[in-house]
Chains A and B, each alone.
Chain A
C-alpha cells in the first residue's frame, strides 16, 4: 500500500541527489534534554531571511520571559522575545553562525524561571487539542505567528507569517510539513517527531486551516520509522497524512519535498505558492501551535549536538541566544579528534570559529567533525567527469557555474541558471577533484546579483 492513497501525485522521491553516510547513530533516539538556563543570552537582531528587527528595550531594563525585545518593521522580518527573565545589557555585537557581524541584544539572566521537565511541558508537553479549530480565525492564526516571531526552524529561517497568510494572492491547496531532516548527522526533528507529535499535528492543523489548505501532508524520510509511527498515532481524526519518502539528500529541500509528495515542480525562480503549496518544518509547526494555543512566543528550540568530535552527543532544547561554546561544554566538551565545528548539518551548515557564537532561530544543530571526516585535500583541475551534473538535484552543471564564477563570466553564469542553485553541496561532495564548487557558485551568485542590482 502506498503512503498517500489513491490521490497522491508524487512518487516519494526526486531525480538525482546523493546518498552520503547518514551518521545519525551518534544521537538517534537520545531523548531531548533541557539545557540549564544560561547566565546570559545574546540575541542577534537579525536571525531570519529579510529585514532586521528594531530593539524596543533599553540597557538595564528588566525583561520577563517571553517579553518582546525587538520588533520586526518590514513585512519580511520577525519579532524577537526574551528567552529568559533578566536585565538587558549594553548593546553588543555578535557573529552569526554564517560569519556576519550583527548588533545584538544581550540579556543577563536573573530568574531562571521554569527549568527541566517543567520547561519542556510548557513548550512542547501537555495536551494539544485538535478540536479547537473553530475558535480561531485564519487571520488570528496569522497574527499569532507574526507576534510570536516564528521563522522556519529547518535552517532557512524565513519568517513564517509571510507563508501562513490567509490573504495570499495565490490560493493554497496543500500544506506540506517538512520532517525529512535529510542532512547527515542531525536528529533533532526526528526526536521532536517522536516526543512531541501532538504539538506538530496541532500546529500543522492550525497552519493548514489558516492558509485554506484542503490537504496537510507531513513528509518524513523512511530512515525514521519511529517518527512516522509516532506521527501516525498522533494524527487522530485530523485527516493529516504522513508521507514516507525515500531517504536521499537533499529530500528536505522544499522544492524536492513538494516534488516527492505531490509530483509538482515549483517553477524556476518561483515559490511553493506558485503551485498552490505552503510548506513548513515540523519544529515550526510545533511553534505555531504554541503561539496560537498557548499564546507563547518562539524562545526555545530543539537542536542536535552530534559528531565524533563531541564527547556526549545529545538532542537538546535550548533557549535562543545561548552560546555554542556553552552547549558543547554541556555535552562534555570536544574530543581530541575534533577539527571543525559546524552550526547546522555538515552539508549546508556554517563552520564557526568562536565559542560565543549564539544559537539562532535557524540553528538546527551543532555538528563537530573530526579531521578524518573533513578530508582537506587540495583542489585539483576539473577533469569534466560530469559527476556534479549527475548529482545536482536542480539539474544544473555545477562545474560550469564554478568556471563562470572563477572567470567572472556572468553571461555563462546566467545561461546556466546560477541563481537556481540552493547550495545543497551535492556537487562538491561528489567532486573527485575536490573543487569547492559551492564556494565558487556563491561567489558567482553574488556577482550576478550585484550586476542585476545596478
Chain B
C-alpha cells in the first residue's frame, strides 16, 4: 500500500536543490507508521498449535501410538490439500501461515482413534477444499473448516465414526474397550467418574477426553488473546445453566459438571468455537454465539438421538455468524 515518492513540483531553484531525502526515504505510506510487534496472524496460529500441545499430549498418553498416526495423517493430508488447492488457483501455497496445520490438528483430535485412515484423509481434503478453499481461502470461509471435514466423514462413514464406532472391545488400549461416557450414560445410564472425565481416562475423540488438558491449552489461548475469551465463557455458562436445570443435583450420578467435562464440550469451547474466521467480530456477538453453541449442544445431548452435538452446534452457529455481526453493530462513542 505504498505510493512512489512524490515529485517535488516546487519551481523554486533553492527548494529544488534541497529536495528529497535520498532514494531510501522517498517512500510515503499511510499512518499509523507503527504496528504492534509480535502480533501477527501467523503468531495467532502458532499460539493455537502451542495450546494444542497439552491436548495432543493427553491424546498420545491415553491412546498411544494410533493417536500419533492419526495426527500425522491429518497433517500430511491437510497440508497436501492446502498446497493442491492453492496451486489449482495459481497461488503460492500459504503453508507457512499455519492455518492448515491448525485445521489438521483440530480435525485429527476431533475424530475417534478408531477412525480408518481413509476417513482422516477424506475429512482433511473436505476440510481444506470444501471448508476453506471453495470460499476463497483463509479468512473467507463461513464454516469452521475442521468441522466441515468432520461432518463430511461422519455422515459418509456413519458406521465407522458413529457413536458405536468409538468402541473397540478387542483393543489392547484400555479406554478404547469402553463406550464413550456420553453414550454409556444415554444408553445404559452408567455415569463415568468425574476424576476420570477430568483427567481423560475415558473413551472419546482423541482430543476431547482430558478436560484438564483442554483447560490448560484453552486458558493459554485466552490469556494470549489469540482466542476471544467471551466465546468459551458464554458457551460453558449457557451449557452449565441448562445442565443444572436438567440434572439438578445429579441424575443417577450424572451432574452438570459431568456435562461440562464430557464429550467435546471443553475442546469445542476453547478450540473449535473460537475459530476467529467463523465466529462473530463484536463482543456482544461473541457472547450470543458462544451461548448459542452451549445451548444447542445441550439441546442435542438431551433431546436428540446423538449423544454429543458440539460439531452440529458450531456449524449451525457458524451459519448465523454474519447475521449476528449485523445484529450486534456496537453503539459508537457518543451514539444513542
Contacts and interface: CB of A to CB of B under 8 A. Distances in A.
Interface string B233-259: 000000000000000000000000000
Contacts of B228: 385-386
A95 B33 contact: no
Given A255-B333, A430-B39, A351 B11 contact: no
A373 B33 contact: yes
A60 interface: no
Given A270-B334, A395-B330, A346 B34 contact: yes
- The residue in B2, B27, B28, B281 that gathers the most chain A C-beta atoms within 10 A of its C-beta is B281
Nearest to A386: B281
Interface in A384-407: 384-387, 389-390, 393-397, 399-400
B37 interface: yes
Contacts of B20: 353-355
B335 A434 contact: no
Contact of B41 (A92, A349, A380): A380
B11 A393 contact: no
A434 B329 contact: no
Contacts of B14: 40
Q: Which secondary structure dominates chain B's binding surface?
A: loop
- The residue in B30, B276, B277, B330 that gathers the most chain A C-beta atoms within 10 A of its C-beta is B30
Q: Report the interface size class on chain B.
A: 35 or more
A246 interface: no
Interface stretch (B82-90, B132-140, B154-162): B132-140
Interface in A421-442: 423, 425, 428-434, 436, 438-439, 442
B5 interface: yes
Nearest to B44: A432
Contact of B11 (A15, A92, A390, A396): A92
B283 A390 contact: yes
Contact of A386 (B8, B27, B139, B286): B286
Contacts of A334: 21, 25
Contact of B28 (A93, A323, A351, A386): A351
Contact of A340 (B33, B35, B225, B332): B33
A154 to B, nearest CB: 15
Contacts of A399: 281
A397 B21 contact: no
B40 interface: yes
Contacts of A40: 14
A397 B281 contact: yes
Interface stretch (A25-33, A131-139, A261-269): A261-269
Nearest to A274: B334
B172 interface: no
Interface stretch (A66-74, A227-235, A412-420): A412-420
A192 interface: no
Given A346-B33, A438-B30, A385 B276 contact: yes
Contacts of B139: 380-384, 433
A357 B174 CA distance: 76
A241 B29 CA distance: 40
- The residue in A338, A353, A430, A442 that gathers the most chain B C-beta atoms within 10 A of its C-beta is A353
Nearest to A42: B15
B312 to A, nearest CB: 22
Given A347-B31, A353-B20, A389-B281, A375 B332 contact: no
Contacts of A270: 334
Contact of A20 (B34, B280, B332): B34
Nearest to A430: B36
A407 to B, nearest CB: 13
A119 interface: no
- The residue in A93, A339, A396, A432 that gathers the most chain B C-beta atoms within 10 A of its C-beta is A432
Interface residues of A, number: 85
B6 A265 contact: no
B329 A355 contact: no
B282 interface: yes
B307 to A, nearest CB: 32
Nearest to A425: B32
B31 A425 contact: yes
B8 to A, nearest CB: 5
B6 A353 contact: yes
Interface in B1-25: 1-2, 5-6, 8-12, 14-15, 18-21, 24-25
Nearest to B278: A384
B335 A89 contact: no
B18 A385 contact: no
Nearest to A443: B30
A11 B41 CA distance: 35
A373 B11 CA distance: 34
B135 to A, nearest CB: 11
B334 A356 contact: no
Contacts of A94: 10, 15
Nearest to A426: B32
A325 interface: yes
A268 B44 contact: no
Contacts of B196: none
B318 to A, nearest CB: 12
A379 B1 contact: yes
Nearest to A381: B139
B168 interface: no
B331 interface: yes
A347 B32 contact: yes
Contacts of A369: 33-34
Contact of B9 (A93, A355, A430): A93
- The residue in A95, A384, A395, A415 that gathers the most chain B C-beta atoms within 10 A of its C-beta is A384
Please name the 9 residue pairs, one residue from A and one from B, whose CB atoms are nearest each other, closest first.
A425-B32, A381-B139, A439-B30, A351-B28, A356-B15, A385-B276, A268-B334, A346-B33, A353-B5
Given A352-B28, A400-B325, 4 more contacts: A269-B334, A354-B6, A356-B18, A374-B29
26 contacts: A93-B9, A95-B6, A95-B10, A267-B336, A268-B336, A270-B334, A323-B18, A340-B29, A342-B31, A347-B31, A347-B32, A347-B34, A351-B27, A353-B6, A354-B8, A355-B18, A367-B33, A369-B34, A376-B29, A379-B1, A384-B139, A385-B41, A386-B286, A389-B283, A430-B36, A436-B30
